[in-house]
């Protein structure tokens, strides 16, 4: 049989010949019935790809009805019902359920209370309930059974089957109405039915036994008696291998067994029970693949994913396969329910699948610290609760876990959203507790935990310690009620410990008692772990908090060391999430810094712990993050790397080691971008297979403009590939594999050895400032790497000067004299506090003389780190004194300055420049953009057209093809829309923008150049950094604030307009640090381009830094204030 379920032509002919011979003596009706039965038998014996046999059987029966004067008799209806029932069990389609029901009612009209037909109809009503969760279906089934059973004798052979069907309906009723009585009654009926069956191993007996096992599992969830769980497993020992049965039954029986095994895993979460669970699922996969349209498939997919995800309790190893299985199960269920005419959020049958999907997303948040995953988890779980009947058994548990997830979202939310989320959680938990409590004790425990969390929340609002007393009482009740679920028990004990710790902080008189009680709760978790062979790492994290608090009270270093030991267990463990590891490492370093005065130690331990925390940060901020998530995480974690390096330098760590650490931990947006642009030609030559896999995975990593794929219709492999978390994990696994190959140990990592670092200084020294508890400058030359301490360039002074700079920006236009006074004061201080000590070291190291002629001044690259992102060190100095005395007391009198975000970026821009100039364009081209008038923007830039014309004249004389874009159209060739500008940039050699620039106050990705359509189609950082300008060597940004990032937490990331052009592949930019004067822009640009003229008659872009330096120095020497020229700077090579 082929994939469409059609018999091959030759076999079909042989089969038809056999039928003709067997039915030669029959009348037409008998022949149709015979053939229908024959096809039905074939269909039942094949897998669900066999559509041909069922269609042939139905066709024969329809012909039979026609031969019977259009009347469907009971015998015809019986065969119809059998075929449609089989199709329903394989495909789960509502149309088949309707056909079964229609034909069964025909039979019952002729043979009232026919037990076999009543049994099948009750099964159909059960299926309808499972798709709609309508209690009316249950009541109809029970009424139907009551009348039939009453009419049967006690020894009727169909009685046990009907009792079993009643038991199934009562199980449905116990769920629908949260009824323990219905559950008890169902178990009694299953027991009675088994007794009436005797010892025969029939299919009907197995159906009853399997449902009896499911009922016992549910009773275990209600009362916590482990013997019920053992008896449920014994049922399957009696049955034997469930896969011996036909596929529809086998899958259904297996699903029940999986639920029981999963309950056992939750009770005893150890590796053995998990391996058993996974082994069972693995054995099911071939059957599921052969019967891939089975309605039980959605449940099995989600249950498989749930089993794979359960590792997270024992290990933080991150896998996308479990999540993808749950996701595929939901997509399957949505498709199935649409076949029942149910769509959108009004589909109650979707609720259990949404619940598992919501929990899977919540786990993705825990594993990857992904706010997007947590938001999706909350959204899906809220949808699930809306679709769940408030009177049903699952409502309480689903609500509790939804509120738990909302609380996680509330902890990371900002501003006005936090109280809204809190209020939503209170309303939800209130709606659950005003109704009868759920049957399952773990659901009661979950509700008790959320009531405890609510009490803690009320304490934080009102500072009334009695709320903490209530919270502790609720947690203690949750501990009592968690006997069926060790994970819930651990969660409750951990919550109890943390709340005792919180209360201890509030009542000093009884603090010691609360702390010891908290320790006892944690020790109980550890004892559970020893008994059941698991480790709960979060408990050690809380133990560290308790010991740290005891140290804070008693100043006894013993407690500090105990806290350090506990937190070290956390961050040294391979079985924790990166964010937990990060927090533990930071906690260790913090307490190590505090106990140094007590134990007369050094900072070495703290430095090592902080270095560990930086490495953990790089796991938290992963390639699975969207750009928005990455920025969100950087705001939280990024300042840590500077502190780690600062402590390391104070501890006497080698400057080269600290420089490598700083390069790894800062400018993370740039690092991620460079990794995706890395040259892998050497890897291709030596390990082609690894290179191929690397490129394939890299293409699948999330991009900013990726659209979310609809999962329905995707294969499992395609669904896995759409899971960005899984792809990121596979990508990093492959990186580790590549780095194990000889010669590739530093693949995709910042420069490793000291010699590799020194090569960055081949064209001039590179200076990196490290700001934290103190300030150092790490100076890189070709001969050495050294750090120098800058005591006057500390945080307090920098904050004060930044305040002065804010005043400068406010008064710059209305009070130029005051603005000049302020900026000169800042730049003079910046010279003495930071620049002069660095220049002195460099001059001494390289043997330069302060009186060197301008042409011999060294190049210096300033890495945009620390306060250098806000304070323009290239303009530092006492310029009044320099002009008056000729003394080299400024940076511009002692060096030619350039900026670079990181050493890696400097290396990347140099390589890019080498590529661009190795094969010069036959006809160089320039794009000049001038916006004299900008829609909805003022003031007009009257000098923009003059500036563009001056530069155009220079370039035209050098045989450049010049395209001018801008406004007004009477001056410029083309309107400067975003599309027109981007198109021109893709092929040009150099570019100039004479327009308004705007640095966003809220989001640096929204900083932009104001073009013609800037409101509708902003040409902003977020757009620019995704571009690839493969030919453009230089962009001159003659606009305001294009090197400005106003977000202090993102200063290290190079997220401004100039940085975005470099991210797009432009190796050189001229950029501004504050608003510039339109009246001086032409002088700067004209002088700059003239300075690029080469001896060969063209432009030498490599002279950009020195050319700009010459123009600015001339302006300074002409007596212009730094307020006018100090904003201009060079980024690049």
What is the reported pLDDT for 197? 84
- pLDDT 10s digits, 861-877: 999 888 888 899 999 99
Domain boundary assignment for the chain: 441-528, 920-1100
Confidence check: pLDDT of 260 > 90 = yes
Comparing 191 with 41, which gets the higher pLDDT?
191
Q: 785 by DSSP, 3-state: which?
A: strand
- 3-state SS, 869-897, equals HCCCHHHCECHHHHHHHCCCCECCCCCEE
Q: How confident is the model at residue 552 (pLDDT cuts 50, 70, 90)?
A: confident
Lowest mean pLDDT among 204-208, 963-967, 1118-1122: 204-208
Q: Which pLDDT tens digit goes with each residue over 66-82?
A: 988 888 888 889 999 98
Residue written as token pair 């307009």: 1057
Q: Other C-beta atoms within 10 Å of 507: how many?
A: 12
Least confident stretch, 45-54, 200-209, 424-433, 699-708 = 699-708
Per-residue exposure over 189-222, b if at least 16 CB sit within 10 Å of its own CB, e if not: bbebbbebbeeeeeebbbbbbbbbbbbbbbbbbb
Residue 242: pLDDT band with limits 50, 70, 90: low
Examine the pLDDT at 4 and tell me if it is beyond 70: no
Q: pLDDT value at position 15?
A: 56
User: What was the pLDDT predicted at 906?
Assistant: 94
Is residue 336 exposed (0-12), middle (13-18) or buried (19+ Cβ within 10 Å)?
buried
Query: Is the CB of residue 933 less than 8 Å from the CB of residue 896?
Result: no
Averaged pLDDT, 736-744: 90
Distance CA 25, CA 31 (A): 9
pLDDT-wise least confident of 18-32, 208-222, 800-814, 867-881? 18-32
Distance CA 605, CA 589 (A): 7
- The sign one gets for the Cα dihedral 540, 542, 543, 545 is positive
For Cα atoms 287, 288, 289, give the angle at the middle one, nearest 5 degrees: 90
Residue with tokens 């009926």: 189
Name residue, tokens 């800042």.
826
Res. 48: pLDDT tops 60: no
Q: How much is the mean pLDDT over the chain?
A: 88
Burial class of residue 1016 (count of CB atoms within 10 Å of its CB; 0-12, 13-18, 19+): exposed
pLDDT-based confidence at residue 50 (cuts at 50, 70, 90): low
Mean predicted confidence (pLDDT) in 1037-1057: 88
pLDDT of residue 343: 61
Separation CA 861–CA 757 (nearest Å): 14
User: At 434, is the secondary structure helix, strand, or coil?
Assistant: coil
- Poorest-pLDDT segment among 210-224, 234-248, 1101-1115: 234-248
Please report the pLDDT score of residue 12 as a whole number: 56
Confidence of residue 298 (pLDDT cuts 50, 70, 90): confident
Give the pLDDT confidence of 308-350 residue by residue, as tens digits.
777 655 454 455 678 888 888 888 888 888 888 766 557 888 9
The residues with which 1019 forms a beta bridge, in sequence order, are: 1009
For the segment 941-951, the average pLDDT, to the nearest whole number, is 94
Predicted confidence at residue 10, as pLDDT, reads 56
Q: Is 964 a residue whose pLDDT tops 60?
A: yes
User: Among 662, 683, 669, which residue's Cα sits nearest to residue 746?
Assistant: 683
**Helices of type H across 573-667:** 578-599, 604-620, 627-637, 639-650, 655-665
- Tell me 1098's DSSP state: S
Contact by Cβ (8 Å): 380, 361: yes
Q: Bridge-partner residues for 890, per DSSP?
A: 877
The reported pLDDT for the residue numbered 20 is 64
733: CB partners within 8 A, 6+ apart: none
Residue 1103's Cβ-count burial label (10 Å; 0-12, 13-18, 19+) is middle
pLDDT at site 162: 92
Q: Kindly indicate the confidence band of residue 596, based on its pLDDT and cuts at 50, 70 and 90.
A: low
Checking if the pLDDT of 211 tops 60, the result is yes
The DSSP H or E segment spanning 771 is strand 766-771
- Interval 518-544 mean pLDDT: 90
Q: Which two tokens stand for residue 815?
A: 């009070």
Q: What pLDDT, on the 0 to 100 scale, is given for residue 345?
A: 58
pLDDT tens-digit series, residues 970-1004 = 888 889 999 999 999 999 999 999 999 999 988 89
Range in 104-108, 232-236, 305-309, 899-903 with the lowest mean pLDDT: 305-309
Whether the Cβ atoms of residue 359 and residue 401 lie closer than 8 Å to each other: yes
The mean pLDDT of 196-212, rounded to a whole number, is 84
DSSP-assigned states of every residue in 324-342: HHHHHHHHHHHHHHHTTT-
Q: What is the pLDDT of residue 1031?
A: 93
Lowest-confidence region among 20-24, 609-613, 640-644, 908-912? 20-24
Q: What's the pLDDT at 706?
A: 45
How far apart CA 694 and CA 426 sit, in angstroms, is: 48
Render pLDDT for 573-584 as a digit per residue (tens, 0 to 9): 877 888 888 888
Give the separation between CA 981 and CA 984, rounded to whole angstroms.
Answer: 5
Pairing mode, strands 1008-1009 and 997-998: antiparallel
pLDDT surpasses 50 at 191: yes
Which parts of 390-462 are beta strand (E)? none
Tokens 């081949």 belong to residue: 762
Closest CA to 676 of 724, 738, 731: 731
Task: Tell me the two tokens of residue 860.
Answer: 């210096």
Q: What pLDDT, in 10s, does the model give residues 347-368?
A: 888 999 999 999 999 988 888 8
Question: What is the share, in percent, of the chain residues with pLDDT greater than 70?
Answer: 93
Residue 96 pLDDT greater than 70, yes or no: yes
pTM to 2 decimals? Answer: 0.86
Which residues make Cβ contacts (< 8 Å) with residue 735, sequence separation at least 6? 747, 748
pLDDT tens per residue across span 400-428: 999 999 999 988 876 667 787 888 888 88
Q: Tens digits of per-residue pLDDT, 165-184? A: 999 999 999 999 999 999 99
Tell me: the pLDDT tens digits for 1064-1102?
Answer: 999 999 999 999 998 899 999 999 999 999 887 789 999
Whether 703 shows a pLDDT value over 70: the answer reads: no
Please check the confidence at residue 704 and state whether its pLDDT lies above 80: no
d(CA 546, CA 541): 9
Spatial contact of 1058 and 1037, defined as CB atoms under 8 Å apart: yes
Q: What is the pLDDT of residue 2?
A: 45
Report, in angstroms and rounded to the nearest whole number, the Rg of the chain calculated over CA atoms: 37
CATH number assigned to the domain covering 920-1100:
3.40.50.1460
Task: Give the residue carrying structure tokens 């109980």.
Answer: 524
Q: Is 925 helix (H, G, I), strand (E, B) or coil?
A: strand
């Amino acid at each position: 049989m082929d994939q469409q379920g059609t018999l091959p032509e030759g076999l079909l002919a042989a089969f038809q010949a056999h039928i003709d011979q067997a039915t030669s003596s029959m009348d037409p009706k008998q022949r149709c019935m015979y053939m229908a039965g024959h096809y039905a038998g074939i269909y039942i014996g094949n897998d669900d790809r066999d559509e041909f046999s069922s269609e042939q059987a139905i066709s024969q029966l329809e012909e039979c009805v026609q031969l019977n004067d259009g009347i469907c008799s009971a015998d015809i209806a019986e065969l119809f019902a059998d075929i449609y029932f089989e199709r329903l069990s394989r495909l789960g389609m509502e149309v088949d359920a309707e056909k079964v029901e229609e034909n069964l009612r025909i039979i019952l009209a002729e043979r009232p209370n026919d037990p076999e037909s009543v049994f099948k109809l009750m099964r159909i009503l059960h299926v309808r309930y499972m798709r709609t969760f309508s209690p009316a279906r249950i009541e109809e089934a029970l009424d139907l059974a009551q009348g039939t059973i009453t009419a049967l004798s006690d020894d009727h052979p169909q009685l046990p089957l009907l009792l079993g069907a009643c038991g199934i309906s009562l199980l449905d009723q116990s769920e629908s109405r949260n009824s323990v009585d219905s559950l008890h009654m169902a178990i009694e009926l299953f027991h009675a039915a088994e007794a009436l069956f005797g010892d025969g191993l029939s299919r009907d007996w197995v159906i009853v036994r399997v449902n009896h096992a499911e009922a016992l599992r549910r009773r275990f969830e209600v009362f916590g008696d482990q013997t019920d769980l053992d008896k449920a497993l014994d049922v399957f020992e009696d049955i034997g291998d469930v896969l011996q049965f036909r596929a529809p039954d086998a899958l259904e029986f297996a699903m029940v067994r999986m639920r029981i095994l999963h309950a056992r895993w939750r009770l005893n979460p150890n590796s053995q029970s998990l391996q058993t669970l996974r082994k069972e699922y693995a054995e099911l996969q071939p059957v599921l693949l052969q019967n891939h349209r089975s309605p039980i498939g959605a449940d099995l997919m989600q249950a498989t994913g749930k089993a794979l995800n359960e590792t997270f309790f024992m290990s933080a190893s991150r896998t996308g396969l479990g999540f993808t299985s749950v996701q595929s199960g939901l997509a399957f269920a949505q498709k199935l329910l649409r076949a029942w005419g149910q769509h959108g959020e009004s589909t109650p049958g979707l609720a259990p699948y949404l619940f598992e999907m919501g929990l899977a997303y919540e786990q993705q948040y825990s594993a990857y610290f992904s706010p997007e995953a947590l938001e999706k988890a909350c959204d899906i779980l809220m949808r699930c609760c809306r679709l769940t009947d408030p009177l049903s058994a699952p409502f309480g548990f689903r609500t509790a876990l939804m509120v738990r997830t909302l609380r996680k979202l509330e902890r990371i939310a900002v501003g006005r959203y936090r109280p809204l989320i809190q209020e939503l959680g209170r309303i939800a938990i209130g709606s659950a507790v005003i109704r009868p409590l759920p049957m399952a004790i773990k659901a009661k425990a979950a509700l008790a935990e959320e009531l405890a969390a609510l009490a803690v929340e009320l304490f934080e609002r009102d500072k009334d310690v009695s709320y903490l007393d209530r919270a502790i009482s609720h947690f203690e009740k949750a501990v009592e009620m968690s006997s069926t679920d060790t994970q819930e028990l651990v969660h409750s004990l951990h919550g109890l410990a943390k709340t005792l710790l919180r209360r201890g902080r509030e009542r000093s008189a009884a603090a010691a008692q609360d702390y010891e009680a908290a320790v006892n709760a944690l020790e109980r978790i550890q004892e559970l772990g020893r008994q059941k062979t698991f480790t709960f790492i979060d408990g050690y994290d809380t133990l560290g908090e308790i010991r740290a608090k005891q140290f804070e009270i008693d100043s006894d270093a013993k407690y500090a060391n105990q806290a350090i030991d506990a937190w070290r267990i956390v961050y040294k463990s391979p079985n924790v999430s990166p964010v937990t590891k990060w927090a533990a490492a930071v906690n260790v370093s913090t307490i190590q810094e505090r106990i140094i005065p007590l134990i007369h130690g050094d900072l070495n331990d703290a430095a090592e712990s902080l270095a560990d925390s930086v490495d953990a940060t790089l796991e938290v901020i992963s390639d699975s993050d969207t750009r928005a998530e990455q920025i969100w995480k950087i705001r939280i974690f990024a300042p840590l790397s500077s502190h780690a390096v600062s402590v390391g330098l104070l501890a006497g760590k080698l400057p080269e080691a600290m420089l490598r650490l700083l390069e790894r931990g800062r400018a993370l947006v740039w690092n991620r971008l460079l990794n995706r642009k890395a040259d892998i030609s050497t890897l291709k030559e030596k390990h082609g297979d690894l290179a191929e896999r690397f490129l394939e995975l890299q293409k699948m990593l999330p991009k900013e403009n990726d659209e979310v794929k609809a999962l329905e219709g995707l294969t499992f492999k395609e669904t896995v590939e759409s899971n960005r978390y899984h792809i990121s994990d596979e990508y990093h696994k492959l990186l580790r594999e590549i780095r194990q190959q000889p010669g590739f140990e530093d693949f995709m990592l910042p420069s490793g050895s000291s010699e590799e670092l020194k090569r960055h200084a081949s064209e001039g020294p590179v200076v990196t400032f490290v700001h934290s508890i103190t300030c150092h400058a790490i100076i890189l030359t070709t001969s050495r790497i050294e750090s120098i301490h800058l005591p006057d360039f500390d945080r307090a002074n920098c904050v004060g000067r930044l305040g002065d700079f804010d005043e400068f920006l406010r008064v710059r236009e209305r009070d130029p004299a005051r603005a000049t006074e302020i900026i000169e004061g800042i730049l003079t201080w910046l010279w003495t506090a930071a620049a002069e000590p660095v220049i002195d070291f460099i001059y001494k190291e390289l043997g330069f003389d302060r009186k060197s002629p301008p042409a011999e001044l060294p190049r210096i690259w300033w890495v945009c780190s620390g306060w250098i992102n806000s304070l323009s060190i290239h303009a530092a100095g006492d310029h009044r004194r320099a002009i008056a005395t000729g003394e080299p007391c400024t940076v511009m009198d002692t060096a030619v300055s350039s900026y670079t975000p990181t050493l890696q970026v400097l290396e990347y821009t140099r390589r890019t420049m080498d590529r661009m100039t190795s094969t010069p364009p036959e006809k160089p081209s320039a794009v000049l953009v001038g916006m004299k008038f900008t829609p909805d923007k003022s003031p007009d830039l009257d000098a923009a057209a003059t500036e563009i014309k001056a530069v155009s004249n220079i370039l035209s004389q050098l045989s450049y093809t010049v395209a001018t874009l801008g406004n007004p159209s009477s001056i410029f060739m083309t309107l400067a829309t975003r599309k027109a500008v981007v198109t021109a940039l893709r092929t040009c050699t150099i570019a100039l923008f004479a327009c308004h620039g705007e640095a966003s106050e809220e989001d640096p990705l929204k900083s932009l150049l104001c073009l013609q359509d800037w409101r509708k189609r902003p040409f902003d950082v977020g757009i620019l950094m995704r571009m690839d300008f493969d030919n453009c060597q230089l962009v001159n940004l003659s606009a305001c604030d294009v090197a400005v990032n106003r977000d202090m937490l993102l200063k290290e990331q190079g997220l401004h307009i100039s940085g975005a052009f470099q991210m797009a592949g432009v190796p050189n930019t001229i950029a501004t640090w504050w608003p510039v004067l339109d009246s001086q822009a032409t002088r700067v640009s004209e002088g700059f381009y003239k300075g690029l003229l080469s001896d060969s008659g063209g432009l030498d872009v490599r002279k950009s830094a020195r050319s700009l330096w010459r123009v600015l120095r001339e302006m300074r020497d002409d007596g212009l204030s730094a307020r006018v020229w100090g904003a201009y700077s060079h980024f690049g090579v």
